[in-house]
Structure 1
Amino acid sequence: MTAHESTETLGNAAANGAQDGAGGESEVLLTTDADGVRTLTFNRPKAYNSLTVELKERLLTALREAAEDDSVRAVVLTGAGKAFCAGQDLKEHVATLRSGTENPLATVAEHYNPIVTALVDLPKPVIAAVNGSAAGAGAALAYACDLRIASSSATFAMAFAGVGLGPDSGASWTLQRLVGAGRAVELMMLGRKVDSEEALRLGLVGEVVPDDELAARSHAVATRLAAGPTRAYAKIKSTVARAAECSLAEALAAEAAAQTELGGTADHREAVEAFVEKRRPQFTGK
């Protein structure tokens, strides 16, 4: 699949909506590969891509597969139709709650926590292409990605308090790192909707583009990252995460260890040789 085909497929899914994945009518998660980029598309547009057990399990598997696949050097996460992800599918949640046979919130430990861990620990760049509403766990999944590019119609909402719950899916950890603790608490308690321009001002996203340019722009950024030093990106992710929780001395030690490891990579040697030869480096991710 060419880059044009990949962005065209993603754009059509976002603009027109694929079949709703409910009831087994189609895949609840679409996967496309192009230019070293794997695009994962939530595919329940009629349900605003809300998260069922099936979709959560498929997403977790897909993230783990992307982490292990050497041909995948960047990941884009997006949604089909008019929403990125509305969070937990409340119809499924209510049905489980009413049945009384199991704890509906067991999904936090069984699904949401492993998904967020897989996103944060994925040793490759992950971009959230937020094409519409991102609410509750849906917003939290976007916050767990490394980069966020939003369409002009995108919105974000921490909807947990509105259903009598606290944050999950790592939102207590990720959101305050993006906007600060005070603002994070405000957004969680009030649960108000944040539009794309405010999201840009607050630092929730790094870029806002017109709706019809989101697919192409996200793929372009992902393609650039996919052609870069993948192992260095993995160390950037891990050292920044560690530095947020440790002392300066520990952060310095982690940086030194990372540099020692990266100094022995083929990509580092290639970059140095390219600099000396005054040419652009050709990174292989190794």
Structure 2
Amino acid sequence: MSEENALLVEHVGKVAKITLNRPDRMNAVTPDMFDDLRDILAGIDTSKTRAVVITGAGRAFCAGADISGRSFSGGKPGDASRRSLEDHYNPAMLALMSADIPVITAVNGAAAGIGATLALSGDLIVAGKSAYFLQAFVNIGLVPDGGGTWILPKVMGLPRAMEAMLLGERLPAEDAFAMGAINRCVDDDKVIEEAMALAERLASGPTVAIGQIRKLARNAQGTSLADAMQAEAEAQQIAGNSQDFMIGAQAFATKTKAEFKGK
């Protein structure tokens, strides 16, 4: 378990708002925090919670992994880093990617290291105009982790992703928006408002289908067309058997507004 209140969870209607809450450390994360994030995601009751917003408290989204005071117990630092990733960070990122409901990230200030990877993992990404993304691993002789080498090329294309990872320079939110890597770039004081509005919109939608869409889209780039179509057929079976499809079809036929249940 991480330090007390390092992660805050607030339920707003059908939306779970998860806040990284170490503002004095610019929300630098620890392995325990990612264990808690994994547990929070695993414990979500999708009949009640139908979208997630992840943000950071204070002036930053997340400054990356907190390496202050880290002890390697006489071992090699690289060995300890591998264990930390395999046992803590990677399982949480996989849990995030495989969630059955949409995830919106609300990025305020710095999103660096694994914080940038986390921020860019949202299905929809909202950032303030002063926010920036930074993969600074190369500046200290390390490689991006937590899925960074998989996520960045998908959200910004290989050339820009290589630039971000090899040069280790800040990518301002406005530039990220211009290249299509994020969905919204808004005034800093509007980030949470915009993210929550998107989350509430998705949470009121057919979240069985939305959950299938997010998984299909994330997996499709690594598969053949035939495999992607087979996955679509299987997902369509799940969506087509949902209560939401029956509601949507009836609303379409009667030209009324669908009131989806997320079931």
Q: State the partner residue of 1:8.
A: none
Q: Does 1:264 align with 2:238?
A: no
Taking structure 1 as the reference length, what is the TM-score of the superposition? 0.87
The CA deviation at 1:256 is: 1.7
Q: State the partner residue of 1:7.
A: none
Give the match's secondary structure for 1:88. Answer: coil
Q: Does 1:218 align with 2:192?
A: no
Equivalent position amino acid for 1:104 in 2:
A
The CA deviation at 1:53 is: 2.7
Q: Provide Cα deviations, 1:95-126, integer angstroms capped at 9, x if missing partner.
A: 323x3258430111111111110111001000
Question: Quick one: distance in 2 between partners of 1:57 and 1:178?
Answer: 25
The CA deviation at 1:199 is: 1.1
Equivalent position amino acid for 1:136 in 2:
G
Equivalent position amino acid for 2:24 in 1:
K
Greater helix share, structure number: 1
Pairing 1:100-139 to 2, within 5 Å after superposition? 100=74, 103-105=79-81, 106-139=83-116
Q: State the partner residue of 2:22.
A: 44
Equivalent position amino acid for 2:29 in 1:
L
Question: Quick one: distance in 1 between partners of 2:194 and 2:161?
Answer: 28
Question: Quick one: distance in 2 between partners of 1:37 and 1:146?
Answer: 14
The CA deviation at 1:51 is: 0.8
Q: Does 1:251 align with 2:228?
A: yes
Q: State the partner residue of 2:180.
A: 203
Equivalent position amino acid for 2:162 in 1:
V
Gaps of 5+ in 1: 1-21
Give the match's secondary structure for 2:47. Answer: coil
Give the match's secondary structure for 1:71. Answer: coil
The CA deviation at 1:168 is: 0.5
Give the match's secondary structure for 1:104. Answer: helix
Question: Quick one: distance in 2 between partners of 1:54 and 1:249?
Answer: 40
* Contact map agreement 1:30 1:43 (CA 8 A) in 2: yes
* Alignment coverage as a number of residue pairs: 259
* Contact map agreement 1:96 1:104 (CA 8 A) in 2: no
Q: Provide Cα deviations, 1:180-216, integer angstroms capped at 9, x if missing partner.
A: 1122111101010011110101222110111111111
Q: State the partner residue of 2:155.
A: 178
Give the match's secondary structure for 1:144. Answer: coil
* Contact map agreement 1:144 1:170 (CA 8 A) in 2: no
The CA deviation at 1:69 is: 4.4
Taking structure 2 as the reference length, what is the TM-score of the superposition? 0.94
Give the match's secondary structure for 2:11. Answer: strand
Give the match's secondary structure for 2:185. Answer: strand
Gaps of 5+ in 2: none
Shift >6 Å, 4+ stretches: none
Question: Quick one: distance in 1 between partners of 2:63 and 2:23?
Answer: 10
